[in-house]
Amino acid sequence: MSEPVLVAENLTQEYVLKGGLFGQDRIVRALTGASFALEPGKTLAVVGESGCGKSTLARVITMIEEPVAGSFVLDGTPAGPDTLAALRTTVQIVFQDPFGSLNPRQRCGQILEEPLIINAPEMPAAERTRRAREMLTLVGLRPEHYDRYPHMFSGGQRQRIAVGRALMLEPKVLVLDEPVSALDLSIQSQILNLLVDLQERLGLAYLFISHDLSVVKHIADDVIVMYLGRPVEIAPKADLFDHQRHPYTKALLSATPMADPTLRKQRIKLVGELPSPVNIPDGCPFAPRCWKAEARCRTERPELDQGTHRAACHFPE
């Protein structure tokens, strides 16, 4: 086992929703108590329903936002306002939308060079250009693409540019927030292959956010399942897909359609009020929808247990 390149301890993030004229401000508890470790060359996937805090975690780890509580260590250096500049290059992010995340008025080459201009202003222009051209090849584009604008590329090619831009500063951790969700199946496979290759060659660590469990099953080493801002199950991929200890994980897997018409599986139907991070129930946050809930679940909040396959449930399986 190598030293983790990212260790997160109890990360917590909240937002304030402004009330109306007479309304009260309300607090959105978007992320609560996220702790995990990520090793170089490994992929940690984060899954869960929309609004469960996946992108919030991504913004905290990439230092776009400062958490209200908790801490994390990147490549041996605790992250914080003082180390922001030093760590800027250690972690980078790729967003879901390959259309919105690239400036339409910049040429592909400029897009790739921009992070260097900002973070390494002393670098000579010729060196920047050389690196940008090298990056084009690395992410499977062609040297002549250097002068093209984003609209001249397909969705998959644009996502390659976005990955290339994130790699220009030679980060150790790459946060991928739904990197293939907007792409066609045929292009999705190209990008996933690219990520696999880059990880092998550069020893990158990925924090891979996705709601597509078949993609996660393919690419992840470990998986965090989140519910209402909290990790409820953390396990090596094989263990998690083999055996779900938390009822929510079980429900999530059973609801995910499988691309095999010969399989007919039993689906767990969740009933009960949909969750809201503004109004998180006391006790177990999943209790209002859980078919196994008992009195204790509604009063006492379950914590993640210890071991390699962890779950936060009073009655784990």
Ligand X SMILES: Nc1ncnc2c1ncn2[C@@H]1O[C@H](COP(=O)(O)OP(=O)(O)OP(=O)(O)O)[C@@H](O)[C@H]1O
Q: Residues interacting with ligand SF4, by CB under 6 A? A: 246-247, 284, 286-287, 290, 292-293, 297, 302, 313-315
Contact between 10 and 33 (Cβ < 8 Å): yes
State how far the alpha carbon of 99 is from the alpha carbons of 7, 95, 96, 160, 195, in Å: 32, 10, 9, 12, 19
User: Residue 225 and residue 212: Cα distance in Å, rounded?
Assistant: 12
Nearer to Mg ion, 96 or 138 (CB): 96
Using Cβ positions, the residue closest to Mg ion within the complex turns out to be 55
Minimum CB distance to other proteins smaller for 70 or for 155? 155
Q: Which does 192 bind (CB under 5 to 8 A by kind): other proteins, Mg ion, ligand SF4, none?
A: other proteins
From Mg ion, ligand SF4, other proteins, none, interface partner of 290 (C-beta below 5 to 8 A by class):
ligand SF4
Q: Which of 13, 43, 55, 101 binds Mg ion (CB under 5 A)?
A: 55
Least separation in angstroms between residue 232's CB and other proteins is 14
- Cα R_g (the chain), whole angstroms: 21
Q: Which residue has the tokens 């304030």?
A: 16
List of residues contacting other proteins (CB under 8 A): 49-51, 154-156, 184-186, 188-190, 192-193, 196, 211, 213-215, 217-219, 251-252, 255-263, 267, 269-270, 273-274
CB of 48 to ligand SF4, least distance (A): 14
Indicate the DSSP class of residue 4. Answer: P
Residue 162 tokens read as: 């976005």
Nearer to ligand X, 12 or 55 (CB): 55
Encode 44-57: b = buried (16+ Cβ within 10 Å), e = exposed: bbbbbbebbbbbbb
What is d(CA 150, CA 102) in angstroms, rounded to the nearest whole number? 7
Question: Shortest gap between Cβ of 23 and other proteins (angstroms)?
Answer: 14
The CA-based diameter of the chain, rounded to the nearest angstrom, is 67
Footprint of Mg ion (CB under 5 A) = 55
